Amino acid sequence: MNEFGLIRSFFAHQPVQRADVATGIGDDAAVLDLPPGCQLVVSTDMLVAGVHFLPGTEAQAVGYKALAVNLSDLAAMGADPAWFTLNLSLPAADEVWLRGFCEGLFGLAGRYGLQLVGGDTTRGPLTVGIQIAGYVPSGQALLRSGARPGDGVYVTGQLGDAALGLMCLQGQLQLADSDRVRVIQRLERPVPRVREGQALRGLASACIDVSDGLAADLGHVLDASGAGARVELAALPLSPVYQGVHGRTGWDPAVAGGDDYELCFTVPPRHEPAVVERMRPFGGVRRIGVVESAPGLRLRDPSGAEYRPQADGFDHFRSP
């Protein structure tokens, strides 16, 4: 199959057809209508085989996750996702692999009404780059820079299961089969918190998605906001599986593990009741700490002692 046959067979026809796509795949660029009174929100994220996923990861999981991590970035901005482009580098035009990849990719795209509007396809090491775009009402994007002393610090969902999943795949943790399946699912099929992010518009003072670990990502919010925070480890939302292995793994998977794709956000006291109310349909949120004026993140364990994670957040270019 040649390049154009491949694009035609796998990417030209797709489930979602949005009315705001004036021109999609097939021209030199896409032409898109932005709703009046909105700002464009754009992000991109790349998955490289051997770096972001283990070689041999099933194609469906790669297609799903490549889009999920991008959706998570728009979720963290409180945006409505609408369109994406796909840069694909493939070692070979493997049709079985491509079919699985498209199943994972378009399955998730369909759930959020996202349309693929262009891309680029080349031969090379397996790499999936997605650029995603969406919009927010002007001035309402959730930024990292708005946290103020006294604001509550919150997270959605549960932390650390994805890191436990990675430990299972790497042979560092043994779990019962059903638990193992569950945490690997959390690693390979994160659910982007898109509706939660939208619900936080007008209420949260800052927001980020937890991709590199809570300490690292909350640290980015605090740096951007010129503030610090205190977080109570006892308040971290941990799954039953995590609670069962906590004695073996400690706090690090929840504090420094990556790939959870939950939202971490701050809320001024006057908005806290409304946030709790608005997040109830999504399974609720957990208040884990408070923003303080002294810079730095202070983690307190249940005994009241300060806790320092053994690992930092993931950094591709960290010096050895």
Count CB-CB contacts under 10 A for residue 313. Answer: 21
Taking CB within 5 to 8 Å according to partner kind, which of ligand ADP, Mg ion, none is near residue 28?
ligand ADP
Which of 118, 134, 192, 289 is in the footprint of ligand ADP by CB under 6 A?
Answer: 118
Q: What torsion do the CA atoms of 190, 52, 163, 172 make, to the nearest 10 degrees? A: 140
Alpha-carbon distance of 125 to 102, in angstroms, equals 18
Per rule CB under 6 A, is residue 7 in the interface with ligand ADP?
A: yes
Tell me if residue 150 falls in helix, strand or coil: coil
Which of 20, 33, 95, 120 is in the footprint of ligand ADP by CB under 6 A?
Answer: 120
Taking CB within 5 to 8 Å according to partner kind, which of Mg ion, ligand ADP, none is near residue 26?
ligand ADP
Query: Are residues 78 and 72 in contact, defined by beta-carbon separation less than 8 angstroms?
Result: no
Query: Whose structure tokens read 């049709």?
Result: 95
Per rule CB under 5 A, is residue 120 in the interface with Mg ion?
A: yes
Contact window for Mg ion (CB under 5 A) among 46-54, 118-126, 127-135, 295-303 = 118-126
Q: Given the complex with ligand ADP, which of 25 and 79 has the nearer CB atom?
A: 25
- Compute how many residues bind ligand ADP; rule: CB under 6 A: 13
CB crowding 127-139: b at 16 or more within 10 Å, else e: bbbbbbbbbbeee
Task: Please report, as residue ranges, which positions from 7 to 46 form the binding site for Mg ion (by CB under 5 A).
Answer: none
Per rule CB under 6 A, is residue 116 in the interface with ligand ADP?
A: yes
Could you give the string, one character per residue 25-54, with x where binding to ligand ADP holds by CB under 6 A and - elsewhere?
A: xxxx--------------------------
CA atoms within 13 A on the CB side of 272: 15
87 exposure class (CB count in 10 Å sphere: 0-12, 13-18, 19+): middle
List residues near Mg ion by CB under 5 A: 120
List residues near ligand ADP by CB under 6 A: 7, 11, 25-28, 86, 88, 116, 118-121
